[in-house]
Structure 1
């Protein structure tokens, strides 16, 4: 299944976009990613016994959902972060395997999978087109290629409130806002990306999940990890500015009498098939 590795093509990203440590990601985004993965996989409606590829698998939320729910013949998760893969392997059930790989130059033969999927990774691949083309290449004719990404512009409540608070404290933060930086994460660009890779029967649909925090600390402390765009930005702040941001963010949140913070998150899911 795995062919001779092709020369790696580096994917440009800002230092704050780097993901490396599984535990920090789990508390920041992984817990919500698992909720979206459950809905995403259920909607695919595919039969058991298929060969699956998860591109940019991270800590394995989508890979493990496929393994648990789809009775796959095989499932392979690929990611460029060894730290994430260590976390994924630690939680992996029987059929799941993992390997380090570049999504834009997959070390895999043509047409060896029935389905290639990706969760919350496309916007961190620059440019994303080669990665989608590679996913299409390694599925058989008629095979499925599907993915989901957060709706950073309007639908990801946690990050929308964070960046709005950050910009009110530090106007320069507006340039780092994922809603501005990742225009891919909308139905039109996603549909164009899939059709541009030669995929057909392309559809895009929303997935919405609740993101409920036990208190403000449960919401805020993951921003102190330094991993990902928003935590990476927080790591650059002086203590005084960080405290102002913390205070401003807390004031904007819908909080229950017991301190619980109720937000919601929307992802866009796109799917198509190789002709």
Structure 2
């Protein structure tokens, strides 16, 4: 599908300038909200460039933390910056190379909606966390594409005004999972209990329009992928329309915000569900 062709992520540096700098802010807020204690065994599924893995390693005093991702390019960036005890491996979220109940906490940041079967991925995460009193913790966060992403909402509004066919690529339309009720349904469908959903909002302030626009030229991700398909004149029209749409301070900076939906749930004792989720 055309949409899936633009979902490929591979180069860590390009992602970091486009979205990674904001994902680090969300990762810290997410861990504060999660409130997990020290000495735990963590798994970060779809870790990308390692923003969340590094935050766990640096803030949560983990016993271990393993980041898994399908992109070797992303993992190369992650391994170069994450502090000990973080380590990484190439793996598929739908078939984790981890034994049953090997972890205390399984997390995922900004990846779930890009997986072919999010429900199966959450069930797989539930499999690898411990059960028993208190249960293991399965938690994640995704961008609120439908209305909480100032950058992307402004981009797609400008793109669709110029090219109505671009609406099919808008993440707000493509990823209905990224809302509280669908997320809750996935967690509960995986047999998780005590499910809680919360909004996390962070500032995304750009130094100027070049700081905002140039990451869209990387060709990586849905919006940059769309920009890469445009002829130079069409690209310039989109750039100018976006420049007119975003708020600009007298110093040239552009103040926007980004919201993520965070969700967590625990794996209950076997007796409470009849059998462990698979």
TM range (shorter): over 0.9
Alignment match, 1:159? 152
Alignment match, 1:121? 111
Q: RMSD value over aligned CA atoms? A: 0.9
Alignment match, 2:226? 233
1:54 match: secondary structure: strand
Choose the corresponding residue for 1:247, options 240, 243, 246.
240
Give the 5 Å matches for 1:206-225: 206-225=199-218
Gaps of 5+ in 1: 1-11
Distance in 2 separating the partners of 1:15 and 1:186 = 23
Choose the corresponding residue for 2:16, options 26, 30, 39.
26
Alignment match, 2:276? none
Distance in 2 separating the partners of 1:149 and 1:44 = 15
Alignment match, 1:3? none
Give the 5 Å matches for 1:18-57: 18-57=8-47
CA deviations on 1:21-51 (whole Å, 9 max, x unpaired) are 0000000000000000000001111110000
Q: Determine if the alignment matches structure 1 residue 102 to structure 2 residue 92.
A: yes
Distance in 1 separating the partners of 2:39 and 2:97 = 23
Q: TM-score, normalised by structure 1?
A: 0.95
Distance in 2 separating the partners of 1:19 and 1:76 = 20
1:17 match: secondary structure: coil
1:13 is displaced (CA, Å) by: 6.8
1:62 match: secondary structure: helix
Whether the aligned pair in 1 keeps the contact of 2:3 and 2:222 (CA below 8 Å) is no
1:226 match: secondary structure: coil
Choose the corresponding residue for 1:147, options 125, 140, 165.
140
Whether the aligned pair in 2 keeps the contact of 1:163 and 1:173 (CA below 8 Å) is yes
2:130 match: secondary structure: strand
Q: TM-score, normalised by structure 2?
A: 0.94
Distance in 1 separating the partners of 2:109 and 2:116 = 16
Gaps of 5+ in 2: 269-278
1:75 is displaced (CA, Å) by: 0.1
CA deviations on 1:245-267 (whole Å, 9 max, x unpaired) are 00000000100111100000000
Runs of 4+ that moved beyond 3 A: none
Aligned residues: 264
Distance in 1 separating the partners of 2:84 and 2:137 = 23
Whether the aligned pair in 2 keeps the contact of 1:13 and 1:124 (CA below 8 Å) is no
Q: Determine if the alignment matches structure 1 residue 64 to structure 2 residue 57.
A: no
1:127 is displaced (CA, Å) by: 1.6
